[in-house]
């Protein structure tokens, strides 16, 4: 896929992976629109990269999603929708059977799953009107093997992974020009996981892997340890589950 000259909308673009993606897409000659909930982060991104277009919105909110679509349409539309926004809620020390756990799961599904479907539905006809268009959905290494301490997050990303594959197949049957990519990151060194000591990959390396996959029309893009976990899980699922869920998490769950 040729990315130069394309107009790309990145959700969750005010920091972390989204902002790094905006930076690298700009470097290769794309036009970039970023959106996110945090007005200050969007403003800082605009100062750092003046050619960015910023729109404040919460993709987990139906009214905001419609507002975002209307603003993008006014700007002339997009060629690529990059569903990067995601949230993760760690369990409380009370375990899984409590209201906070349920509320967190609902929030994760609203942003990580339903929010993606909502935006895809809104932008689909716009994307179909383009000569070459794409949707990028960010799932996770945890859509391959679930984490015991991030059970509902893993579930939301697994749901998104199945949806992504089905959407790709559906559009293929319709001979659509809209390509559907799935990015499976490992743990990425971002603000959201700053307090974790686990092995992390940099946002820069992840986005480089994403762009390489897009340019090669590699529809499932695994970067870093996601490649290894995918292969190991096919042949040694019990071992792989243990790698994702080491014994030390028992102390976290207590």
Strand 53-56 relative to strand 220-222, pairing: unpaired
Architecture of domain 7-253: 3-Layer(aba) Sandwich (3.40)
What is the pLDDT of the chain when averaged over all its residues?
A: 92
User: What is the predicted pLDDT for the residue at 26?
Assistant: 98
CB 95 within 8 A of CB 152: no
Give the model confidence (pLDDT) of 236-245 as tens digits.
Answer: 999 999 999 9
Q: Residue 80: exposed, middle, or buried by beta-carbon count in 10 A (0-12, 13-18, 19+)?
A: buried
pTM, 2 dp:
0.92
Of 91, 89, 127, whose CA–CA distance to 111 is shortest?
89
Percentages helix, strand, coil for the chain (3-state, rounded to 5) are 55, 15, 35
Asked if 153 is an active-site residue, the reply is yes
For the chain, the structural domain boundaries read: 7-253
User: What is the predicted pLDDT for the residue at 37?
Assistant: 95
pLDDT at 197 over 80: no
CB 117 within 8 A of CB 135: no
Give the model confidence (pLDDT) of 22-48 as tens digits.
Answer: 999 999 999 999 999 999 999 999 999
pLDDT at 231 over 70: yes
In this prediction, residue 251 has a pLDDT band, given cuts at 50, 70 and 90, of: very low
CA atoms in the 13 A half-sphere facing the CB of 6: 26
Give the model confidence (pLDDT) of 44-84 as tens digits.
Answer: 999 999 999 999 999 999 999 999 999 999 999 999 999 99
pLDDT at 206 over 60: yes
pLDDT at 252 over 60: no
Distance (Å, whole) CA 53 – CA 97: 43
pLDDT at 116 over 70: yes
Q: Which of 82, 107, 113, 153 is catalytic?
A: 153
For residues 108-132, average pLDDT: 97
Give the model confidence (pLDDT) of 175-185 as tens digits.
Answer: 999 999 999 99
For residues 151-180, average pLDDT: 96
CA atoms in the 13 A half-sphere facing the CB of 80: 27
């Amino acid at each position: 896929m040729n990315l130069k000259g394309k107009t790309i909308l990145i959700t969750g673009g005010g920091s972390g992976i989204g902002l790094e993606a905006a930076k690298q897409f700009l470097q290769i000659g794309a036009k970039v629109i970023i959106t996110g909930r945090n007005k200050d982060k969007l403003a800082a991104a605009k100062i750092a990269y003046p050619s960015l277009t910023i729109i404040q919105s919460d993709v987990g909110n139906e009214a905001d999603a419609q507002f975002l679509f209307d603003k993008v349409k006014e700007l002339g539309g997009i060629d690529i929708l990059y569903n990067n926004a995601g949230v993760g809620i760690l369990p409380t020390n009370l375990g899984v059977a409590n209201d906070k756990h349920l509320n967190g799961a609902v929030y994760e599904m609203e942003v990580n799953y339903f929010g993606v479907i909502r935006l895809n539905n809104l932008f689909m006809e716009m994307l179909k009107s383009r000569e070459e268009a794409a949707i990028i959905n960010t799932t996770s290494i945890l859509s391959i093997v679930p984490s015991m301490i991030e059970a509902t997050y893993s579930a939301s990303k697994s749901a998104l992974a199945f949806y992504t594959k089905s959407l790709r197949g559906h559009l293929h049957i319709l001979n659509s020009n809209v390509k559907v990519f799935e990015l499976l990151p490992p743990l990425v060194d971002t603000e959201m996981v700053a307090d974790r000591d686990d092995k992390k990959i940099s946002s820069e390396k992840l986005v480089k892997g994403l762009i390489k996959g897009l340019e090669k029309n590699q529809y499932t893009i695994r970067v870093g340890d996601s490649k290894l976990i995918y292969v190991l899980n096919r042949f040694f699922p019990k071992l792989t589950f243990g790698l994702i869920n080491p014994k030390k998490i028992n102390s976290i769950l207590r």
